Amino acid sequence: MQPAESNRPKCGAAPDRSGRQVIKIGGHEIDDPLFLEQLVDLVRGLPVAPILVHGGGKEITEWQDRLGLKPVKIQGLRVTDADSLRLTEMILSGLVNKRLVRMMALAGIRAIGISGVDGHLCEAEKLRLPDADLGFVGTVSRVNTGFIVPLLDAGYLPVISPLSLGRDGQVYNVNADTVAQALAEALQVATLVFITDVPGVKIGGEVVDLLPIGDVDRHITSGEITGGMIPKVRAAVGAVQKGVGSVMITHARNFIEGKGTRIQ
């Protein structure tokens, strides 16, 4: 029997009633020992273990500098050649992933570190831009829900590196936001959390607690939402339209305090 798979859940599919969350943390949070300690305490206190997806771009850049590999980004995405891919896999699926698992395990949390490659959790395809080649950078085309659900049902906390596997056998570097969104949609979770370097979405100069998805385009057109926040809110809209209960955009301190902007 083939494992259950999902390309993208249909809009209107039944949401996860367990209160499960997908939480994405990035390189700046992973470098903050205080935040990590608080994250461990928060996870330990949740009634249902979340799914934790992590990046690690800051450490990748640091190691590229050490090894004489020049970081290059196009449209905010890291160009990944063969040498950079090897380094990225070592940092994300090795150093960063096991650091997070170790911290959770020492706190008595049943954490298990995996990547999108393991069990073919996330199937990827090359991300193609019309005017640039990003190298071995991919996007998620399918999620193997039949692999991850038994881990969740058994009470494990999956800690997921975003490296993913293509049908061509190639490992691809996939943006952690993209993997988190794909998992949230495929599993129809109650909440997808993006932890960023800002406290939430600002409208009229103030962080708003709630942003209805129907208002997002209007605020982008008016210039209230700009820059790097635009792809995040658009990802949030897409996730909600595909069955995720809501999306929270916040920064580390606000996340611990339960604050931020909820999009639904």
Q: Which two tokens stand for residue 224?
A: 């209230």
Known catalytic membership, residue 131: no
| Residue of 26, 27, 113, 245 marked active site | 27
CB 60 within 8 A of CB 78: yes
Cβ atoms within 10 Å, residue 239? 28
Catalytic member of 55, 56, 57, 113: 57
Known catalytic residue at 27:
yes
**CA–CA distance, 209 with 262 (Å, rounded to integer):** 6
Phi, psi of 230 (to 5 degrees): -60, -50
Which residues is 204 bridged to in the sheet? none
> Quick one: DSSP state of residue 16?
P
> Catalytic residue among 177, 200, 242, 245, which?
177
User: Does 81 participate in catalysis according to the annotation?
Assistant: no
Residue 97: how many other CB atoms lie within 10 Å? 22
Residue 66 burial (10 A CB sphere; 0-12, 13-18, 19+) = exposed
Token duo for residue 70: 């020049």
Select which of 16, 24, 55, 200 is catalytic.
24
Helices 82-89/57-67 angle, 10° precision: 130
Sign of the torsion formed by the C-alpha atoms of 238, 242, 248 and 251: negative
- Please give the Cα distance from 225 to 218 (Å, whole number): 9
Catalytic residue among 232, 242, 243, 260: 232
Tally of CB atoms within 10 A around 206 = 9
| Cα 101 from Cα 132, distance rounded (Å) | 36
| Catalytic residue ranges | 24, 27, 57, 177, 232
